[in-house]
Structure 1
Amino acid sequence: MASRGIMVTGTNGADFEHREKIAAQYQISALNKSRLKYCVFFHHMLFLVMLAKLSADILDKLDIFILEIEELQIPQPLWWEYLWGLSLVLSFLGLSAIKRNNIRYMRHYLYGITALGLGPLLYCVVYYCGDVYKYLTADEDEDEDEIQLWQGYPYGLLWYAFVLLASQVHFFQLYFGYNLLKAWRARGTYRKTD
């Protein structure tokens, strides 16, 4: 063993710690890459939910008739639902940015998530706020014919549940992406000073 020889006074073997440290920006980068990948996974899961909702309209446009889907009487989709579905394409841009540590791709990803992810969700909240307010403030005696229902559930509240989940995923994507940008920029300035 190496400790059997003559030990230099003043060293107790703990002097190696300064060589074992990983720079903070690399630790932050690795942690946020992993977390952003989880967010992208949840984004894909939410997209599958949206695709299930849009399936009736897509099949109608393709002139495919499936009785079980038609019997569900799914309401016609609005433009924001398709626009939000486009945000899935951005996840591949984000994964490419993670793989290459590409600042430009990550910036485009963050802008796209803001526009195609959060933008349509904000429109949904505004669009259904009247129905949700009527449902929440309606007395049991009042007639609820003005409120749009699907399978006995208020349609606006169902969308609000989706918006709650999707907005959390998007906000976390933005947060982790921003942290990656900061870490990658710190890495760039670190290299320039050496």
Structure 2
Amino acid sequence: MKHLIIYSHPNPNSLNSHFKNTLVEHLEQGKHEVIVRDLYQLNFNPILSLEDMAGQRNGLVAEDVKQEQDFITWADCITFIHPIWWTGLPAIMKGYIDRVFSYGFAYRYDQGIQKGLLVGKKAFIINTHGKSKSEYEAIGMDKALLLTSDKGIYLYSGLEVEEHFFFDKADRPLPESIENWTIEIKKSF
């Protein structure tokens, strides 16, 4: 299977990096093809410009966007790995979605009805956050995150969300938590 990992964290020693490296190793041991797109390492430009918007309307995208779209087209499975910052995606990941998941590539409208175009591709999302699950549940943030990312981005684009991991208290994780999370990720792939 062809796995694309879209990764967003600036610290190569982060928990997110650990998950990325663990997943790459696990998939490669299973003889899967793996490509990692580390948005910080790529210095991906997250700014949706007027030129981007005009091009999207005409089915034209910038070369850096086209390259990312080619990777998505290639993949059978896409895994997004990033922290939750300020109850959302890091800016570079949000900009990636804004620019790469463009009209005509990730979705379109047929007679006013939205249609996701990435149908047939599986998606996994691995997120870390500092708050506890109970804190997020108490304020409804758990449901809000699923609504804005899973439904608002991934399902909207036609991706089939297989699993969305939320690893809590990740700013100061216990070693046994990291071990359990690592096992949980490996079991899903």
State TM-score, norm by structure 2.
0.24
More strand per residue: 1 or 2?
2
Q: Which has the higher contact order (CA 8 A, sep 6+)?
A: 1
Structure with the greater alpha carbon radius of gyration:
1
More helix per residue: 1 or 2?
1
